[in-house]
Amino acid sequence: MDAQWSFLTNHARVLVCIARDDSLRLRDIADMLGVTERTVFGIVTDLTEAGYVVKEKAGRRNRYRIQHHLPLRKPIGREPTIGELLGLLIDSTATNAAGKAAETGRAGAHHTADTLPGPPGTSPQ
């Protein structure tokens, strides 16, 4: 079995990173996913142009807001919304804790590639 493929595209994996922590830098996301910062920039640009992500300035940094209500692209039946898909892929308790930490001004926990859905045969630690 080829260990180079994954059920999730890099676009989906970037969305998972943003859903977990909307204040991550592109560099942080690139490090987590094992891709270049330029690749992540292109993916975020794609997601922004498609309307799935809204980029907002927060001081000198960007924050990214996912449009959870939007349907997936190229439906083949009753497709879930982005929010429903992300709900299946991420631990909502971790996301809620990060959101609460951001609301109270505390820095959210950074996630590593070990906690992201990866290729077959890999498992989170």
Domains assigned to the chain: 10-95 (1.10.10.10)
Is the predicted pLDDT of residue 123 greater than 80, yes or no?
A: no
List pLDDT tens digits, range 13-50.
999 999 999 999 999 999 999 999 999 999 999 999 99
Between 71 and 41, whose confidence is greater?
41
What are the beta bridge partners of residue 63?
A: 56
Confidence of residue 83 (pLDDT cuts 50, 70, 90): confident
- What pLDDT is attached to residue 109? 41
- What pLDDT is attached to residue 92? 58
Separation between Cα atoms, residue 69 and residue 104, nearest integer Å: 26
Please give the model's pTM, rounded to 2 decimal places: 0.65
Give Cβ neighbours of residue 6 (< 8 Å, ≥ 6 apart).
13, 117, 118, 119, 120
Give Cβ neighbours of residue 32 (< 8 Å, ≥ 6 apart).
17, 111, 112, 113, 116
- What pLDDT is attached to residue 2? 57
